Amino acid sequence: MGTSAFDQHVERDLKDNSGGMQLVSERTPLRKRWFRLLALGAISALIGSVAHAQNLDQGKSAAKLFADGCTTCHRSARGLAKGRFSLTLFLFLQKHYASNSSSAWALTSYLESVDSAQRGRSRAAAAKPSPPGTRTALSPLRPPLPVLGR
């Protein structure tokens, strides 16, 4: 059986390294190959491992969550939950502002509690008459009384 010209050329070059063709094992010492193999294994282990996401909101109160993420645009929490259903508010917060569902529920509850406390206070304030001498938003400004005895 005859050998092809290519096979004869490869055999000649492998026997005689003067042709410039060398095997990988002849060019790189054993120590370098082990180092490369170890580095490749370390890189694949680092890339292949599952990255565990940290919950940055864990352990924070709802007021702290609001202060950290919402106060840049909203001065206070009053009125943000007004006229909204709990579920739609939760879904909105979960999609746009919270890192997980528990944070979204905490923010939802906080916003609703702030609004319900505000409504409760305004009803109680409306039922209770204000003492004379205290200025309310509806009372007009008056000049001060003159000082007697001068």
pLDDT for position 49: 61
* pTM (predicted TM-score): 0.45
Q: What tokens does 45 get?
A: 């282990």
pLDDT for position 128: 59
Q: What is the pLDDT along the chain (150 residues), one digit of tens a residue?
A: 566 777 666 666 566 555 555 555 555 678 888 888 888 888 877 776 655 667 777 788 888 888 888 888 888 888 888 888 889 999 998 888 888 888 889 989 999 998 887 665 555 555 555 555 555 556 667 777 788 876
Could you tell me the end-to-end alpha-carbon distance of the chain, in angstroms, rounded to an integer? Answer: 136
CA 107, CA 94: separation in Å to the nearest integer? 9
CA 54, CA 62: separation in Å to the nearest integer? 18
Residue ranges of the domains in the chain? 62-126
